Chain A
Amino acid sequence: MSEVEAAVRRLQAGDRLALTPLYHLHAESAIRTAYLITRNKATAEDAVHEAFVQVIRTISSLRDPAAFRPWFYRIVINAAKRLSRRRWFAPAFMAPEASPEEKVIGTEEIEAVQAALADLPALHREVLILRYYADLSEAEIAEALGIAAGTVKSRLHRAKEALEARLRSREGGWRR
């Protein structure tokens, strides 16, 4: 039994202390995922806060404790999307320090992809975030978004095509 599964079972049994490991294991990844979706720090904080409140209140409805991760991401994504609809904000961009990965790939290329990602429709961006940032499997994404596994596959494919199209259009634009 994984650490997460054990914690979920304890929480379901009423042991509130079990929230602590769940929080420490998932909060950072969740808040960054929420940030990628909302592109607003305060909204991301609020979304994750609300998600954990909902975890406490509704954990008993989770039938398979091993499926906590997609179940939790579903709550986070819903909260993030709902809160973003109520707020207007201008996304701030702050160039962070390059990671070792970026140094290998090249900052310029990553920046171009980042800009193209920002341009994508929410539906496409969301599925890419869950797959490549949150590292959810296609089955887990299906669970988190409440859609069929086949839909996830096709949506991922279309999202990557859309990303590619935007990158091409940007290159074209620069050349002109």
Chain B
Amino acid sequence: MTDERTIKAALEREARQMKLPPDQLTRIERQADAPARPGLWVRVEVVAAVLILAVMLGLAGWRAWSTAPSTFVQEPPTVPVVPEGPEPGPPPSTECLSAPLTAGDKASEVSLFFTCSGDSFDAPPRAVTRPVSFGGDPIRTALEELLKGPTGDEQARGFASFFHAGSAGMLKSVTVTDEGRAIVDFADIRQPLNNASTSAGSKQFLQELGQTLFQFAAVKEAEFRIEGSCDGFWQWLQSSCQVITAERYRADVTQGTGRQVIGCDATPTQKALFARADLRSIPWIHATPADAGITGHLFASPDGVATTYVGPGRPDGASNKVLWLVSHPGAGSELAVSGTNMTTGETYHEVFPSSAAGEFPSIIALPAPGCWKLELTTGAVTGRAVFAALREIDFALQVRVAGREPTLGPIAGARVSMKEIGLSQVTDGRGMAGPMTVPLSSIERFPYDLEVSADGYKTCVIQFGSMVFPGTGRWWEESPYFLFVYLPEGEGTVGSDGCYGGRTQPQTPGP
């Protein structure tokens, strides 16, 4: 049998790969000083109380709950999950909930991400909502607040961080390019944050920094610097200069719903965080560059991306009102909005006077559907945003059979439907359907599926966008968009991958 000395040598050989990281004592003590979690039964009672409270508040209506004075604030509390298996490891904490905000009307709020001291180290940081005075660049404000570290009250609620009073004020600059790259330059934070450079420490540090920064939808990637040096920052974290991307760090607590408009990379909207108190229910966008300090509050836009409707408003009467707020001191007394249709080159120009310092109410009445790049200019300040302009879609469709010459011959039993909006039509003997109208109310749910089928052919599903079909002709006079759909051979129903040749086409003059 293998002797013990050999087993010991083998284990020591493997263990030698592991080195003790630099002194962690300060960090250990700081985390230990955060309040300990209550005992199991206390936790159970807290969970039960939270559940009962949630049910009662649910009965009273979510909206009423969210505006009434509450013990916990905006988000429903997380219910702890009992860890798997028999190990007595600590369960996730019920601590680290946001505190009620008592901000006044003109005050605002900002979200920061700190570690919850009761969580294990691989747990993502949690959001802290902190009241701040309104104005200034939201991204800069959030980072400045992050660098201050958790307040005494936040620490008492279980939040911990590498950031602390000693790192406050060490943000030198933050700029966001039109492409969405945030360049964040710090003063020399290496000394005050010396414990953040270890392997586990840097992961936690970057999570807090990344989630705070990437909560802003306009920020897609980030480059961090110390005293202007990207190498300086990353060498401190024992790595080399790199750009980090939003996918890895973005928490989903403040993002929009992910609604998109196909073919238009419109400016993403934020949820209400950092909006002025009286505008919290309105989706808002952050014009680029961020240091222009221009935010737009979109009264008619669905959450997701900046959306407007062709003409002054929606058919249901809602206007395309956008309230622009400019916090930059160089703002003038009026705001000029100049737009260019990114497909057709058509232009739009309108000037709006201010109603109060830095406030510009506007109706953005873009003349045609499409993707519009807007340039916003007031005084010495210029910002940019991209809007998707929508209108009700009329379209026509011809079903063809893949592998054959386009034919007007009979295609038995051809049907087209959009099940999500209850739109359905049987084609005529030549495989034609239309005109059909996609109502505006459904446009807000874009994209969705257009399903086409015919007897003896596989069902074809194509993703249907909004104003992305740039055709200029007419098949039917009343149908601005015309689609050919090629059905694949063979029986049965298949998903979109079976949709051979099913795609939108520019309109073709009809016979």
Contacts and interface: CB of A to CB of B under 8 A. Distances in A.
Interface of A: 16, 19-20, 23, 27-28, 31-33, 35-36, 41-42, 44-46, 49-50, 52-53, 56-57, 78-79, 81-83, 85-87, 92, 94, 96, 98-99, 101-102, 105, 109-111, 113-114, 117, 128-129, 132-133, 160, 163-164, 167
B59 interface: no
A133 B198 contact: no
B200 interface: yes
Contact of B87 (A31, A42, A78, A94): A78
Contacts of B240: none
Given A117-B11, A129-B11, A45 B199 contact: yes
A83 B200 contact: no
B29 A102 contact: no
Contact of A50 (B2, B11, B18, B121): B121
Given A31-B20, A45-B21, A49-B27, A133 B89 contact: no
Given A49-B24, A163-B2, 12 more contacts: A28-B20, A31-B20, A46-B121, A46-B122, A78-B88, A82-B120, A109-B6, A113-B6, A113-B7, A114-B14, A132-B8, A164-B1
B203 interface: yes
B17 interface: yes
A109 B7 CA distance: 10
A45 B4 CA distance: 27
B87 A23 contact: no
Interface in B347-376: none
B11 A20 contact: no
A35 B15 CA distance: 7
Which residue of B6, B24, B27 has the most chain A CB atoms within 10 A of its CB atom? Answer: B6
Contacts of A35: 14-15, 17-18
A36 B28 contact: no
B9 A110 contact: yes
Nearest to A34: B18
Given A27-B20, A42-B200, A164-B2, A117 B122 contact: no
B187 interface: no
B108 interface: no
A80 to B, nearest CB: 10
B9 A102 contact: yes
